[in-house]
Amino acid sequence: MSMPLESVPFSELLRQPAETAERLARTRALRLRRRDAADLVLMSAERAKAEGEVVDLTARLLAGLARRDPALVRETLPTVLPWMRFLPPRDVEQMTDEFIHTATAAAAVGSTAAVSQLLAEWRHTAEVHADPDLHRVLAAPSTDDFGPVARPSGG
């Protein structure tokens, strides 16, 4: 689990750039809180490069292990992602297969976004299975037409 980042208002960076940069030198990164937009993370270029190298190496190593010994990944993944215990056995198998293929492809293109998306989707599926009332509602057949769906906003 990652350590929480020190958090400062974005306006502090604008009002006191030198002090904020000094603060950054004492920590690994700063979370810049913004009122009307997504928060940002500020870190040194050297730190970003080092973390990027570690993520890249880890992704390629994981992809290599997954190709060589998929059974090891199947055995280990539920200990790393405890929420998988809420998934039915068939879903555990499907999730693991998708994880192996997605991690391999993500390592090949140098982007972890697809792995992150996959994990979020399966974690939400596990949350549904963990809540019997929610699972019952979502698993029940429905013949109702719930009307038009609004077009998603582009943000």
pLDDT one-digit tens code per residue, 49-106: 998 888 888 878 887 888 888 888 888 999 999 999 999 999 999 999 898 888 888 8
26 is written with which tokens?
Answer: 């004492």
Q: What is the DSSP letter of 6?
A: E
Query: Which amino acid is residue 62, in one-letter code?
Result: L
| 146: pLDDT strictly greater than 60 | yes
* Average pLDDT of the chain, as a whole number: 87
pTM of structure: 0.67
Pairing status of strand 40-42 against strand 30-33: antiparallel
Q: Is residue 27 part of a domain?
A: yes
Q: Is residue 152 part of a domain?
A: no
Residue 152: band (very low, low, confident or very high) from pLDDT cuts 50, 70, 90: confident
Q: Is residue 96 part of a domain?
A: yes
d(CA 35, CA 153): 19
d(CA 74, CA 100): 9
Looking at the structure, tell me whether residues 33 and 54 fall in a common domain.
Answer: no
Listed in sequence order, the residues at least 6 apart from 127 whose beta carbon sits closer than 8 Å to its beta carbon are 83, 86, 134
pLDDT at 1: 46
CA distances from 106 to 29, 32, 48, 77, 141 (A): 25, 28, 19, 17, 36
pLDDT at 155: 58
Looking at the structure of the chain, the number of domains it has is 2
pLDDT at 58: 83
Looking at the structure, tell me whether residues 28 and 89 fall in a common domain.
Answer: no
Q: What average pLDDT score do residues 117-128 get?
A: 96
Instruction: Give the H/E segment covering residue 32.
Output: strand 30-33
Listed in sequence order, the residues at least 6 apart from 131 whose beta carbon sits closer than 8 Å to its beta carbon are none
> pLDDT tens digits, residue range 23-64?
888 888 999 999 888 999 999 899 889 988 888 888 788 878
Q: Is residue 153 part of a domain?
A: no
Q: Is residue 73 part of a domain?
A: yes
25: domain range? 6-43
Bridge-partner residues for 33, per DSSP? 9
